[in-house]
Amino acid sequence: MSSQPGYDALAELYAETFPSPFTNTLQRHAFGAFVDHIRDSGVRGAVVDVGCGPGLLTAELAARGFEVVGVDPSSEMLRIARSKHPGLRFICVDATLDAPELGGVTVAALLARFSLIHVPPDSVPEILAGWSERMAAGSTVLVAGQTSADDEIVEFDHRVAPAWRWHTNRMSAALADAGFAEEWRTLHGADADHRFPEFHLFARRR
């Protein structure tokens, strides 16, 4: 069983603070483009929402007709996700996807929004390699996180759990090493509600 004590403690507050999955317009459009790419890819299987939290994006994907699985290491986040979206499938596991319940799931696409930021950077290459192994050529990935300057990966004072900001080039290179080719990225500047610039990075399994 995975655990995420920081998010367990603040799960209710998190769900109340973020009633919408989108905190700016670009996030909505990046997600919309991802949805179109999944459809266009023609790859069959489930869309896995890695670090799904209260499941808002898992539900958005389900509403668009995809088979979905939300995964998160925080049992409290999943308790909220299950109560808000009783028809959907949620599994308690971290980004490794190392859970027996996922054994039979074919992964058509994978969304990791503001969740890989909580994985110690040394562990990320192995996690991406594991995703790649279970995905067919043409399948798609959207990763989002807070970004850093100057090609660095830097730990930052996230309020809930240890977290790292990745320069988008570094995340793109890590994805490429695991077999995913970047197709596009977005960058949203910091503002009153976002302390750091944020990237979305869309890549496809070669």
Ligand X SMILES: C[S@@+](CC[C@H](N)C(=O)[O-])C[C@H]1O[C@@H](n2cnc3c(N)ncnc32)[C@H](O)[C@@H]1O
Residues binding ligand X (CB under 6 A) = 4, 7, 21, 50-53, 57, 72-74, 77, 94-95, 113-115, 118-119, 161
Residue closer to ligand X, measured from CB, 44 or 203: 203
Q: What is the Cα–Cα distance from 192 to 141, expressed in whole angstroms?
A: 29
- The least distance separating ligand X from the CB of residue 36, rounded to whole angstroms, comes to 19
- The least distance separating ligand X from the CB of residue 23, rounded to whole angstroms, comes to 9
- DSSP of 30-67, one letter per residue? HHHHHHHHHHHH---SEEEEET-TTSHHHHHHHHTT--
Residue closer to ligand X, measured from CB, 134 or 137: 134
Residue closer to ligand X, measured from CB, 45 or 51: 51
- The least distance separating ligand X from the CB of residue 76, rounded to whole angstroms, comes to 9
- The least distance separating ligand X from the CB of residue 33, rounded to whole angstroms, comes to 16
Residue closer to ligand X, measured from CB, 120 or 138: 120
Sheet holding 68-72, edge to edge: 89-92, 68-72, 46-50, 107-113, 135-146, 198-205, 180-188
Residue closer to ligand X, measured from CB, 45 or 53: 53
- The least distance separating ligand X from the CB of residue 119, rounded to whole angstroms, comes to 5
- The backbone torsions φ and ψ at residue 205, rounded to the nearest 5 degrees and listed phi first, read -65, 125
- The backbone torsions φ and ψ at residue 134, rounded to the nearest 5 degrees and listed phi first, read -95, 5
